[in-house]
Amino acid sequence: MVIMTNSHTKLPKRVSAAEAKARLSELVASVAYGGERVVIEKRGKAVVAIVDLADLELLERNDPGPGRPRGALALVGAWGEVADEEIDRLATRIYSSRRRSKGRRVTLES
């Protein structure tokens, strides 16, 4: 389950599955027209969320899909079109900047 939040949105409302069943129309309206997000819990554990279509589209656009790497692993190969020399220059600038930063030990490894 993914719950997306932005700094301008409030935390999602949390309801039990029984409450969601009894108030589904009201919850759907609060998401669709009130800009809310609803997390439905079963036995106190979050199991599903109701989000508006814009949030769903954003989730789907950012989802790498099943079997595709996530996080730092998704970056593997992302710099394939950048010349090795350019990457070396970038790394040198990063290490130079880190050396200037006080209180941080920097070691260069080859």
61 against 12, higher pLDDT: 12
Is the four-CA dihedral 6, 7, 10, 11 of positive or negative sign? Answer: positive
Residue 1 lies in a domain: no
Segments forming the whole domain that contains residue 28: 13-65+77-100
Residue 2 lies in a domain: no
Summarize pLDDT for 43-81 with one digit per residue, the tens. 999 999 999 999 888 888 777 677 776 666 666 666 677
Question: How many independent structural domains does the chain possess?
Answer: 1
CA 109 to chain CA mean position, Å = 32
The per-residue DSSP string of 2-58 comes to: -----TTSPPPEEEEHHHHHHTHHHHHHHHHTT---EEEEETTEEEEEE--HHHHHH
What is the mean predicted confidence (pLDDT) over 3-24? 78
pLDDT score, position 18: 95
Task: Identify which of 9-23, 54-68, 82-96 has the greatest average pLDDT.
Answer: 9-23
Residue 85 lies in a domain: yes
What is the C-alpha to C-alpha distance for residues 105 and 101, in angstroms, rounded to an integer? 9
